[in-house]
Chains A and B, each alone.
Chain A
């Protein structure tokens, strides 16, 4: 069974631009979560989606948004990029929200210049 896939793997953007990251969960997994990882803050929860609905949201500004499609694939969008948004963005999937193990993708490395 294929693991969690994320595209693109690397991205360089300029301050003020916007970016969209994509995540395909493990087949059969319906819950998708997004995390931001930085050297200073570590791993921080962004949001979780299940059945195309955002079920939970972390403490991030409204510039960070996401959505989930009927096939459970998810995208996250960051608008008006800031230098501090440079990070590794990780997507994780699980069968159902809060149940069982979360399986992580390889991440998207975003660099904002």
Chain B
């Protein structure tokens, strides 16, 4: 069974800091990995999708990396802003017959002005 862990569970940083969110998974046989953002009481917004053959993806101030062999992904947020405050979720899609996303519990990020 695929286990996805996100560390830290919560993070508070001052505006302008660069930060890294971590995601680890137990089964390296993944199809892809997706990072999401969730605002309180809302649905999920897709941030970045990394296919298993890729090492990283970038979108604006966000950069996500994937190391399948070590079962790790990181989401790097540059020059954080108060609007980045949200819960960030990592989800892994397995390579076998099931295409469900396995989610971590998320990292709750607070960026203070």
Chain A contact residues, CB within 8 Å of chain B: 4, 33, 35, 42-45, 48, 55-56, 58, 88, 90, 92, 97-98, 100-107, 109
Contacts and interface: CB of A to CB of B under 8 A. Distances in A.
Interface stretch (B17-25, B63-71, B75-83, B95-103): B95-103
23 contacts: A4-B43, A33-B100, A35-B101, A42-B103, A42-B105, A44-B103, A48-B99, A56-B97, A56-B98, A56-B99, A56-B100, A58-B100, A90-B44, A92-B44, A98-B99, A100-B49, A101-B46, A104-B43, A104-B44, A105-B43, A107-B42, A107-B43, A109-B41
Task: Summarize B's interface: helix, strand, loop or mixed.
Answer: strand
A108 to B, nearest CB: 10
Contacts of B44: 90, 92, 104
A37 to B, nearest CB: 9
Nearest to A46: B100
Interface of B: 31, 34, 36, 41-46, 49, 89, 91, 93, 97-106
